[in-house]
Amino acid sequence: MQRLALVGANGMLARKVRELVPAGCALAEFDLPDFDIADGDAVRAAMERCRPAVIVNCAAYTNVDGAEADEPLAMRVNGLGPGHLARAAGEVGAILVHVSTDYVFDGGKTTPYAEDDPVAPMSAYGRSKLAGEEAIRASGLTAYYIVRTSWLYGPGGKNFVETVIRLATEREELRIVDDQIGSPTYTGDLAAALFALLDAGANRAPFGVYHFANGGETSWYGFACEIVALMRQLGMPVAARRIVPIATGDYPLPARRPAYSVFAGDKIRRATGMAIPAWRDSLAAYMRARID
């Protein structure tokens, strides 16, 4: 891997991808306002100049509820943009790594989702992310990894962990949804999984769609309880005395969320040999690093 193009380079996941770029690999960073993934001509020209061996796409419109009010914008970024990158990757001979989401599923299962389970997004955000996957497949590019993930958190971005930490220092009571089940995922672990798929030479994983999330499952309520417990263990200030479990219907939002979006990790484990950290272990490591 001589050159890697990191698209969406200012985002939360990109921060961890940047940290793991192999020694000797030249990194080229692309993001707004100088680079617009939705501008096909600009994407093609930029990749032609850069001529990367790998393109990692961390760019996304991630405002899940905002997408309900502006689905065309979400579609431009999440739907059209990955197709532009895929066509550019084909022209320069690059591998494309694209990050997708659990929101492409309807959450109707009660067992972990495999990569070939039927997709059925329930929100504008989910539809836009599925459109991006379909655009990559329709581009004719075969050298791609689509990696779906869930409940992402990490340094340098807005996420559930940071929201709970803030609220737990401000309020005596937190009311958190308890009937949506998923797997919290640390950006550092996801970034490591992306590079595990890209491992050089004969060890490179077969191209295609993969699921990656940290091991185990919980609800948003269970996630919040673990965050606050760790805050107390680490001596962080905590005002919250009660964490109250509530139903999704008690906290209505514009976009529908999957009730269940746990991923099966068998495929990526077989392809890479990687061990997938448990979500509680990764959360604890993140919280400790946060105060160091």
Positive or negative CA dihedral for 154, 195, 27, 97?
Answer: negative
Strand-pairing partners, residue 27, are: 4
The one catalytic residue in 61, 103, 113, 125 is 125
DSSP-assigned letter for residue 80: I
Q: Distance between CA 148 and CA 211 in Å, rounded? A: 5
Sheet strands (E) in the chain: 3-7, 26-30, 54-57, 95-101, 144-149, 152-153, 173-177, 181-182, 185-186, 208-211, 218-219, 242-246
Catalytic residue check, 286: no
Q: Distance between CA 199 and CA 210 in Å, rounded? A: 15
Report residue 66: phi and psi, to 5°: -60, -30
Q: Distance between CA 174 and CA 18 in Å, rounded? A: 35
Task: With H, G, I as helix, E, B as strand and everything else as coil, classify residue 170.
Answer: helix
Q: List residues with catalytic annotation.
A: 125
